[in-house]
Amino acid sequence: MFNKFFLTIIFITAVNLSAQIETYKWQPNEVDYRLNIPVAKEYKIITSNFSTLLISFCQAVYYSVFSEYDGDNCPFHPSCSAFFVESVERTNIIEGGLMFADRFTRDINFFKGYNSYPLHFTGRFYDPVYKYKLLPLTELVELIKSEND
């Protein structure tokens, strides 16, 4: 009789305790809404001419020494360093350099937002090089339209 009573008490206590543990277990998890988009970094040295070779080498050094540890912080796509390399590749080192100076100024602008730039699928502001090449107006309009299509 005593054993039965004792076992019942143990059973009820154990169920209650484990139920409390279960309650603790079933707490909702914290949800992280940040986009988990892996961005592959390219350390490509472009050897088409001396200026692209120089700039792409500088980019590779910047990636290895700073960006790798600092993290992927550029709000734009393509990133500022990729923009610099691409602009030099498409134009020349002087025009590419000016395009980069302008991009850097836009990058540190605190007021930039969704009204100024379309959103890329990576969640960054889409700001391609061709828009800043001082193309003839009709050509620029056609390029933007074809990209929107």
Beta strands in 26-111 (DSSP E): 76-77
- Residue 53 CB, shortest distance to another protein, in Å, is 21
How many Å separate Cα 32 from the centre of its chain? 16
Cβ pair 85, 46 in contact under 8 A: yes
- Judged by CB under 8 A, does residue 109 bind another protein? yes
Rg (CA), the chain: 28
Stretch that binds another protein, among 49-57, 62-70, 78-86, 138-146 (CB under 8 A): 138-146
- Judged by CB under 8 A, does residue 53 bind another protein? no
The CA distance from 39 to 21, in Å, is: 41
- Judged by CB under 8 A, does residue 112 bind another protein? yes
- Judged by CB under 8 A, does residue 132 bind another protein? yes
Of 7, 17, 65, 134, the residue at the interface with another protein (CB under 8 A) is 134
- Judged by CB under 8 A, does residue 137 bind another protein? yes
- Judged by CB under 8 A, does residue 90 bind another protein? no
Q: Is 57 exposed, middle or buried (0-12, 13-18, 19+ CB in 10 A)?
A: middle
Return the exposure string of 77-113: e unless at least 16 CB atoms fall within 10 Å of the residue's CB, then b: bbbbbbbbbbbbbebeeeebbebbeebeebbeeeeee
- Judged by CB under 8 A, does residue 133 bind another protein? yes
- Judged by CB under 8 A, does residue 41 bind another protein? no
Can you give the binding site for another protein, defined by CB under 8 A?
A: 95, 97-102, 104-106, 108-112, 116, 131-135, 137-138, 140-142, 144-145, 148
